[in-house]
Structure 1
Amino acid sequence: MRRKTTAPRPERPSPALGTVPYFAFMGIFLVLPVVANVLQAFKSGGSWSTDSLARVLEPQYVDAFVLTTNLSLVTALAGGALGLVLAWALAGAQHPLWLKNVLLSYSAMASQSGGVPLAFAFIATVGAQGLLTWLLPALLQGFRLDSFAGVALVYLYFQIPLMTVLMLPALSGLRREWHEAATTLGAKPGQYLKDIALPVLAPSLGGALLLLFANSFSAYATAYALAGGGLNLVPLLIGFFIAGNVMIDESFAAALATVMMFVIVIAMGARTLLDRRSRAWLDH
């Protein structure tokens, strides 16, 4: 008798093939632009040189990094504090459910807003000819949206809800049993907050603040629409050196962008470490 021969089964494609579109997308739209920018930063007049990077250390450009850092710190700390309070209220609120859902939806939407539409909304509200400026001239006298305080105010519009969205998962991870156990042992609300809640939330809080810092540090469209050339901010300088009417210098713009990316990478690297520590806390 002949033995039945079975046709060989076709080999299944490797699961790694499913990641090809992702890595192709990341390579084309993230890795290649970064590499091209860094290479451009080491060119000057068509030849390899470090002149553009050395020029970043000139006083006016150092001042730009200092001002951008200060703006990012102010908006990160102020937005982080207010966003944490809002997230804490939403995490503990049960009723009315519709109001909680509205605030959650608004926070998710506002955290991604920005650019020219947001700038125009504030100009129409508290600008030189804005509605509130016309209704309350004494209160807003001397206030300018193209100033440091004005740009910081507009940044808070998306920094506060972003902090809320980032902290809600961490606050939801605080177990009720911890609070009940602390209360049973005689701990007051302030002691529970200081000795239990804040130490657990510290990694998530630090990571969220670093993300807010990076978000503000790299913002361009909103600041450009509000201040134009009125503020010496790094993203605005990069835009002027790329598409300015007079001072076009792509190599120096790439050098500024390279230093800017270095700052953001440090912030995001620290956030990643804190995020891992936060997950380790909440998973136990």
Structure 2
Amino acid sequence: MTLNSTLQRVSWRGLRQRGLPGWVGALPLLMFLALFLILPIAANVVTSFWVNGAFSFSAMAQLLEPQYLDAFIQTFNLSLLTAAVGGVLGLLLAWALATGRKPAWLQNLVLSFSAVASQMGGVALAFAFIATLGVQGFATQAILGLTGWDLSQDIQLASFSGLALVYLYFQIPLMAILMLPAFGALKKQWQEAANSLGASRLRYLLDIALPIMWPSIAGSLLLLFANSFGAYATAYALAGGRVNLVPILIGFFISGDVMNDESFAAALVTGMVVVVVAAMGLRSLAERKANRWLR
């Protein structure tokens, strides 16, 4: 028995002896969630329905105007594209890490890079791509000098496809990290049993591995979708107002000199929260099924 488990048993035993409910130990976390998550969301919802000092649906109804509806469609498409492509490539990377034969140092290097890259974003990531693939980027200039091909003419970072390319930098390693536990849940005995019954490796993957792993795959894809849908700093640093995305619009309406409208910005945030919460709710359902095989 470790020291941590001993202290936990002592603390819980002390709570029970004092007649205190078990959730008291989680009270600091609950207070933190209430202060920094629940209250801000509630305040934002109230602001989206409070226009010019009175209750109104005008800000929410404005979301249905073509330019703002197009922003949601563009953001949805960008999130769906990067989640799908990043999910497939990240799944292959996780499969290679979990099953491939490789030196230990190489696996540790890839895992360390994936952990860092999955959390990287914002202005730093945007600057890295501009310095590499921008008009004066070192890769662009090197290719131009060697082949005469101007890479910046075909890869424009301040565009929908350019943002998708940059988003994949953190979507792929994030998918790999999320899927590694699912690959670890596949028992060698299952593959050995399938092989003993004459099943090929492809048949094992299609009939056994994928049905077991699909809740984890679906949950990870939904997390990638939500991760991309809420990204702001990277998109703003690269594209500014040249790509019609919801997070960029929110920034304009909150801090813009001309387009300052807190009620409508709150309405945009509310619509965004609805999409993200729906994705996370579906992910929670998928995780429940996945956890049956991870026990």
Smaller-chain TM-score range?
A: over 0.9
Larger radius of gyration: 1
Q: Which structure shows the higher helix fraction?
A: 2
- After the TM superposition, which parts of structure 1 deviate over 6 Å for at least 4 consecutive aligned residues? none
1:133 is aligned to 2:140: yes
* Aligned equivalent of 1:5: none
Contact 1:84 1:167 (C-alpha < 8 Å) held by counterparts: yes
SS in 2 for 1:56: helix
| Contiguous gaps of at least 5 residues in structure 1 | 1-8
| Residue identity opposite 1:110 in structure 2 | A
Say which of 36, 51, 54 aligns to 2:43.
Answer: 36
Amino-acid identity (%):
58
TM-score (norm 2): 0.90
For 1:213-245, what per-residue CA distance to the aligned partner results, in whole angstroms no more than 9, with x for missing partners? 000000000000000111000000000000012
Q: Does 1:122 align with 2:142?
A: no
Does 1:183 pair with 2:160?
Answer: no
What displacement does 1:13 show?
6.5
CA distance, structure 2, for counterparts of residue 183 and residue 16 of structure 1:
48
Q: Name the counterpart of 2:97.
A: 90
1:20 & 1:159 partners in 2: Cα distance?
A: 33
Aligned to 1:77: 84
| 1:93–1:100 Cα contact (<8 Å) kept | no
- The match for 2:63 is 56
1:110-168 superposed Cα distances (whole Å, 9 cap, x missing partner): 11110000000000000111011111131614121001111111100000000000000
One-letter identity of the residue aligned with 2:32: F
Picking from 222, 226, 241, the partner of 2:234 is 222
Secondary structure at the aligned position of 2:273 is classed as: helix
Q: Is structure 2 residue 253 aligned with structure 1 residue 248?
A: no
Higher mean C-alpha deviation, range 223-232 or range 90-99: 90-99
Q: If the length of structure 1 is used for normalisation, what is the TM-score?
A: 0.94
> Does the 8 Å CA contact 2:215/2:286 hold for their aligned counterparts?
yes
Q: Does 1:17 align with 2:24?
A: yes
Give the aligned CA root-mean-square deviation in angstroms. 1.5
Provide the rounded CA distance (Å) in 2 between the counterparts of 1:225 and 1:280.
Answer: 42
How many residue pairs align between the two structures? 275
Report what 2:288 is aligned to. Answer: 276
In the aligned structure 1, how far is the partner of 2:210 from the partner of 2:241? 41
1:29-75 superposed Cα distances (whole Å, 9 cap, x missing partner): 00100000000000111111000000000000010000000000110
Measure the CA separation in 1 of the matches of 2:23 and 2:219: 31
**8 Å CA contact 2:133, 2:152 repeated in 1:** no
CA distance in 1 between counterparts of 2:166 and 2:258 reads 29
Distance 1:141 1:116, change over 3 A: closer
